[in-house]
Chain A
Amino acid sequence: MHTDGERGFILHRYPYRETSLLLEAFTHGCGRVGLVARGVRRPGKTFAGAHLHPFQPLLLSWSGRGELGTLNRVEAPEMAIGLKGDAMWCAFYVNELVLRLLHRHEAHADLYDAYDDVLRKLSQDGSQEQALRIFEKRLLAGLGYGLALTRDARSGEPLYAHQTYRYLPDEGPVAADAKSPGLVVAGATLIALACEALLDAKQLREAKSLLRMALKPLLGDKPLYTRSLFRSMQAQA
């Protein structure tokens, strides 16, 4: 089976045998795929694997069926997405989420677009947190665990910006008093998240807690490396 010129990114790469690389790629049409790039680490072939790095938009051609394909050709239609400093750590976090939550060979064209979009946003000057929250929201929706962001889960009424809600993991936002369980979220935050509008500092904090709560059951007990790394780096700074 041949796949030709498929848009994709490398999520992670591992050395494989003496001269090859094992690549975890995220492609537009085939979702996450495992590929072997043979001979690209051979001395003197320095440039053979030059493009095979994370955050570089690629056109990948591979063959083979089963778990691992064999990379036949790779082209870089444009420059790597320039990520500096914190933006790069954020992008590693995005890669870890995709690696952990997407199964191989499940096409997610919509998520691919969200992934492409978040990398480009992270490379720009805007808010990194905003870009990450929107990606997390789209990731959950793409996986079939989308947040309920339009209606009160119990009354069915539309959400009001000035109202405070309690977000219940299995139900959604519920207008409730201070004693109810669930995560406290302002209606304005939920509405802004729904239409992907710019979130202010308080809304970003709420959105972060909300998305973390929603991602938790999918990620399981194993902590995210990038998250704990980022925390320890911020503690040092």
Chain B
Amino acid sequence: MSDDTKALEDLKRALRRLPGIGAKSAQRMAFHLLGRDRGAARDIAQALLRAVDRIGHCQRCNNFSETEVCAICRSTRRDSGLLCVVESPADLVSLEQSGAFGGTYFVLMGHLSPLDGIGPEELGLPKLEALLEGGVVREVILATNATVEGEATAHYIGELARRRNLLATRIACGVPIGGELEYIDRGTLARAFSGRREA
């Protein structure tokens, strides 16, 4: 690599660290930013720096937050007795957009994954336990993914809640709205049946 292209190579290498970006995409992005939109390049650089410097984790719910305690946790209009446990900030955003939930959250930033060496400690569960000990939460709603690891995580956290005499509930799993039974896979259908309720 000659000296006159070092900065370009560094930029491409940096862009490749983004998820889903390979060598070709990184090169396309780099050429676009340098050739056509230097203003955007500067904006992106500044936004990145600002975000990295300012955004930390909410002390209560572990979600990304610029303040020590995030807006949802600070809100007096939300029921802090209901705690919804989700795997990622993206899950929280989806739930917020659905408008279905008026309680507070805890964001795990992942799930238990024994084969990747991610256990309760790595997942920051001691922080969740401290929250459960606080005496405010009365119901823990387990909204982890319906994957094997998500179920394992829900089961583990459910146990933590039950040991503290708190109600632990799991979000329902079954037929999607507009779904036709004929096309639904067996596993989902079986779950929908076992989780049926009085009409």
Contact = CB atoms under 8 A, between A and B. Distances in A.
Given A53-B147, A84-B155, A232-B120, A226 B187 contact: no
A41 to B, nearest CB: 10
B54 interface: no
B185 A50 contact: yes
Contacts of B115: 11-12, 92, 95-96, 99, 225-226
B185 A233 contact: no
Contacts of B155: 84-85, 88
Contact of A88 (B19, B20, B121, B151): B151
B117 interface: yes
A51 B185 contact: yes
A236 interface: yes
Interface string B143-162: 00001100110011001000
Interface of B is mostly: helix
A229 B119 contact: yes
Interface in B12-67: 19-20, 22
Contacts of B19: 18
A206 B155 CA distance: 30
A220 B146 CA distance: 34
A80 B155 CA distance: 17
Given A55-B148, A92-B152, A236-B120, A225 B188 contact: no
B190 interface: yes
B116 A88 contact: no
A79 interface: yes
Interface residues of A, number: 33
A20 to B, nearest CB: 10
Contact of B120 (A53, A84, A93, A233): A233
Contacts of B187: 50-51, 56, 76, 79-80
A47 interface: yes
A226 B114 contact: yes
Nearest to B19: A18
Nearest to B176: A46
Interface string A1-44: 00000000001100001110000000000000000000000000
B152 A88 contact: yes
Interface of A: 11-12, 17-19, 47, 50-51, 53-56, 76, 78-80, 84-85, 88-89, 92-93, 95-96, 99, 225-226, 228-229, 232-233, 236-237
Closest 10 pairs (CB-CB, A-B): A18-B20, A92-B114, A229-B119, A225-B117, A226-B114, A53-B148, A54-B148, A12-B115, A229-B114, A88-B152
24 contacts: A11-B115, A17-B20, A18-B19, A50-B187, A50-B188, A51-B185, A53-B148, A76-B186, A79-B187, A88-B152, A89-B114, A92-B152, A93-B114, A96-B114, A226-B114, A226-B115, A229-B112, A229-B114, A229-B119, A229-B120, A232-B119, A233-B119, A233-B156, A236-B120
Given A18-B20, A89-B152, 11 more contacts: A19-B20, A50-B185, A51-B187, A53-B147, A88-B148, A88-B151, A88-B152, A225-B119, A228-B119, A229-B112, A233-B120
